[in-house]
Amino acid sequence: MHIAIVGNIGAGKTTLTQMLGAHYKWDVMYEAVEGNPYLASFYEDMERWAFNLQIYFLNSRFAQVQQIRSTTYATIIQDRTIYEDAFIFARNLYDSGVMPQRDYDTYLLLFNSIINTVSQPDLLIYLKADIPKLVSQIRKRGRDFESDISVEYLESLNKYYEDFAKTYEHGRLIEIDVNNMDFANNPSDFSQITEKLDKELFYI
C-alpha cells in the first residue's frame, strides 16, 4: 500500500510521516530536502533556479515512485508527492511569472511522460494549515534557506493546495486541519489522526 502526505511548506508533513511510520511500522520515504543542490539558491533567486529545482524534485519523486512500485511486501508512507510538484509548485511558479513559458512547457512535457508510468497513491493525507501556523512552524525548525520564504508565496501555495484537494480524482483523500493541533507533542492530537486513519484504512 502507498500512502502519501501532502501539504504546504511547514504544515508538518515530515514530522507526521515519521510518526505514522513508527506507529504503524510502515516504511518511510522523505522529501529530498537535505543535500538538495538547488533549494537554497532557489529561495535567493527564484527566477534563476525555478526550473532547475523543479526538475530535481521531479526526478527525485519519480525515483521514489519507482522504488515504491518495486516494493510489494510493505506499506510505504511518502512525504510529498509527484502531483504536488506539477499541479502546485511548478504551476504556481509559472502563473506568478517566475518560471517562463518555455521552461514550463518543457517541464510539463517531461512530467506528462513520467506520470503515464506512475501508479497513484492508495491514500492521500492532506494537512490543511493557515499562514500563521505555517510561518510559526517554519521559524521553529530554523532552516536557514527558508528564512527568505515570503508570506505571499505561502498564501499562493495554499490556494493551489485547496484547489488540488477539491479536484483530486486519482484516489482517496482525507483532509486533516492541523491549525489547532500539536501532534508532535500532544498525544491526544496524534490519536485523533490515527483514529481517522484507522477508520479509513481498516474500517475500525
Does 146 appear as a known binding residue?
Answer: yes
The amino acid sitting at 110 is L
Does 15 appear as a known binding residue?
Answer: yes
Pairwise CA distance, residues 49 & 125, whole Å:
29
Q: Is 79 a catalytic residue?
A: yes
Does 71 appear as a known binding residue?
Answer: no
DSSP calls for 117-184: T-PPPSEEEEEE--HHHHHHHHHHHT-GGGTT--HHHHHHHHHHHHHHHHH--SSEEEEEE-TT--TT
Count of residues in the chain: 204
Is there a contact between 128 and 178 (Cβ–Cβ < 8 Å)? yes
Pairwise CA distance, residues 12 & 28, whole Å:
15
Does 30 appear as a known binding residue?
Answer: no
Does 12 appear as a known binding residue?
Answer: yes
Does 7 appear as a known binding residue?
Answer: yes
Does 8 appear as a known binding residue?
Answer: yes
- 193 half-sphere exposure, CB direction, 13 A CA radius: 28
Cell numbers representing residue 37 in the block: 543542490
Catalytic pick from 79, 95, 177, 189?
A: 79
Does 14 appear as a known binding residue?
Answer: yes
Does 169 appear as a known binding residue?
Answer: no
Does 10 appear as a known binding residue?
Answer: yes
Burial class (CB in 10 A: 0-12, 13-18, 19+), 184: middle
Q: Binding site membership: which residues?
A: 7-15, 31, 43, 54, 80, 85, 146
Residues with a known catalytic role: 79
Q: Binding site membership for ATP: which residues?
A: 7-15
Q: Binding site membership for substrate: which residues?
A: 31, 43, 54, 80, 85, 146
